[in-house]
Structure 1
Amino acid sequence: MNVKLTLLDTGYCRQLEMFSIKGGRLKSIDFHAIAALIEHPVHGLYLFDTGYSPRFFEATRLFPYALYQKITPVVTTPQQSIKAQLSAHGIEAQRISGVLLSHFHADHIGGLQDFPGAKLFCFSAAYEHIKGKRGLSALREGYLPDLLPSDFEKRVTFVDHGVPKALSQTYQPFSQAYDFFGDGSMLLVDLSGHAIGQFGLFLRDQEQGDVLLCADAAWSSTAYRQNLLPHALAQFIMGDIRSYRENLKRLHELSVHWPSLKILPTHCAEVWQMSQGVFAWRS
């Protein structure tokens, strides 16, 4: 079953390109935070992550969380929040049935509190890894506790508590995934590494064909196409560098044998362009 995918740019942070990819320039570049609206013909509207929102600045006002903003300066406006973008296109927040959280870094959960009525979905491994962490311990994980709704545990479903299904050879080297709706339209695959318990999402857009939203399993399309790891300093902040290497290699292999698949990293400049083009708002 096909869905309709719209990419939403929620702002950006600035960091040296050399940290994101081996051989990158000693030049500060923009890393846009892309989230996605998924319109399912049967089940309604869902979000894949929520990107930044102005709430990020309140969450980083005091030490030690202020270090986050100093290390990776963030630029976003109220109009760029997911909630505001949806409202501008006639979609009120209460129409969002659920939010799929690829992982709990602040640039992925920044707008989460704007959707108090939505069901929440993540991998239990991701939540257990950040649960209860505060201060420097949370900051080390790229997690800002004030961005998480107070009723999170009442609303969340842990997708990885279900039974995964075997994938066809088309998806190799990925062999299994969680069938979100049971109709094959949205398949969640483990992409741990950048963060513990991170997942990606396979779907088929009704116009653009097969897509993999791979979150931060790669920071750019160049990285997975050439299987290029980030700078050693960036690897130091990975949740599990061994899994990161393995999943980056899997993405590379997938891109080689399935060239028509559109693999979309959250922070990639090419994806940012797509968010203004083929995956922009469509009537």
Structure 2
Amino acid sequence: MELKVEFFDGGYCTHPECITMKGGRLSNAKYPSMFMLITHPKHGHILYDTGYSSRFHEETSKFPEKLYALLTPVFAKHNDVAAEKLKELGILPSEINYVILSHFHADHIGAAADFPNAKYIYLKGAFDKVRNLGKIRGLLNGYLPGLLPKDFLDRSLTVDENQKASGFNATIEKHFESRFDVFGDGSMVAVELPGHAEGQLGLYLRAENEELFFVADSCWLSKSIRENIKPSLIANIIQSNNREFARTLTKLHHIWKESPEITIVPSHCGEFFAKRASLCHWDQKALNGV
């Protein structure tokens, strides 16, 4: 089954690179908030994550949410957001049929409300973790509920955890137990990647003779996977489970060594972004990992 995949950013944030990878630069680096457009022959246009939108700035305009914006400076102009990028390709927001949410941090759900006909696919445990949190606890978990549409639950399609995927890639199957056939046709496999956020979903697929494994925030830089480099202790504050995060990163390192034909894609890696992303409207100087 032939899929097509394109890579974009929905804006970016800045952090010192040494926070996201031990030994990184002390200076601020840009972290693109990538989303992926997947075109499926049966299911049409699908997004994996959404990047930021102007709604992020609205939701963080007052305290305590403003702390999020102060600690993570976000840059997303009107023409950076997913809906506008897709329009440049001739795709209307109403033509997006599914949005796969890797997890519920603001940089991944920031534009989720911009797609009025989309069904949302995610692991039930990921939303259960955040849905009833108050403002402060939600903030500590990187979750801003106002980024989701009001009818989010009505349009949700949680991953069928009884539909376990197998036979798609022996290396990934060896290292990750929780993996699910998204549409039941073997075209896209969701893989649970523990550590960064509860119920974080990666996505494996084949597109145009390439094997792709989107790994969300299992790390921030491709170099971290190649060399199995952990983030700084400061970054551990935002992880749901530091030991699981380290274990997942080590597994990805082994997959990279054992199956170099798989292209592993962290959602914020500047190195990958500079090579593959389209329609970037901001200066790529100071990208992380480049």
**TM-score with structure 2 setting the length:** 0.92
Matches of 1:190 and 1:101, distance apart in 2 = 12
Matches of 1:160 and 1:256, distance apart in 2 = 30
- The 3-state SS of whatever aligns with 2:199 is coil
Alignment of 1:199-218 (within 5 A): 199-207=201-209, 209-218=210-219
Match of 2:156 in 1: 156
Alignment of 1:18-167 (within 5 A): 18-167=18-167
% identical equivalent positions: 39
Match of 2:264 in 1: 263
Match of 1:220 in 2: 221
Matches of 2:235 and 2:111, distance apart in 1 = 25
- Name the Cα RMSD after superposition: 1.3
Aligned partner of 2:176 among 174, 177, 186 = 174
Unaligned runs of 5+ in 1: 278-283
Matches of 2:176 and 2:199, distance apart in 1 = 16
8 A Cα contact 1:213 1:266, kept in partner? yes
Matches of 1:144 and 1:187, distance apart in 2 = 27
> How many angstroms does 1:272 deviate by?
1.4
Matches of 1:147 and 1:39, distance apart in 2 = 25
After superposition, what is the alpha-carbon deviation per residue over 1:217-249, rounded to whole angstroms, capped at 9, x for unaligned? 111101111111100111122011121111111
Matches of 2:274 and 2:207, distance apart in 1 = 17
After superposition, what is the alpha-carbon deviation per residue over 1:42-75, rounded to whole angstroms, capped at 9, x for unaligned? 2111000000111110010010110111001011
> How many angstroms does 1:22 deviate by?
1.2
- The 3-state SS of whatever aligns with 1:63 is coil
Unaligned runs of 5+ in 2: 279-290
Matches of 2:23 and 2:171, distance apart in 1 = 32
> How many angstroms does 1:187 deviate by?
0.4
Matches of 1:269 and 1:165, distance apart in 2 = 30
8 A Cα contact 1:202 1:212, kept in partner? yes
Matches of 1:153 and 1:11, distance apart in 2 = 26
Matches of 2:150 and 2:42, distance apart in 1 = 30
Match of 1:253 in 2: 254
- The 3-state SS of whatever aligns with 1:142 is coil
Please tell me the residue identity of whatever aligns with 2:229.
Answer: L
Stretches of 4+ aligned residues off by more than 6 angstroms: none
- Aligned pairs, number: 276
Matches of 2:236 and 2:48, distance apart in 1 = 25
> How many angstroms does 1:170 deviate by?
3.5
Matches of 1:2 and 1:218, distance apart in 2 = 28
Match of 2:287 in 1: none
- The 3-state SS of whatever aligns with 2:139 is helix
Matches of 1:63 and 1:45, distance apart in 2 = 37
- The 3-state SS of whatever aligns with 1:127 is helix
Match of 2:5 in 1: 5
8 A Cα contact 1:166 1:176, kept in partner? no
8 A Cα contact 1:124 1:161, kept in partner? no
8 A Cα contact 1:133 1:145, kept in partner? no
8 A Cα contact 2:192 2:200, kept in partner? yes
8 A Cα contact 2:11 2:74, kept in partner? yes
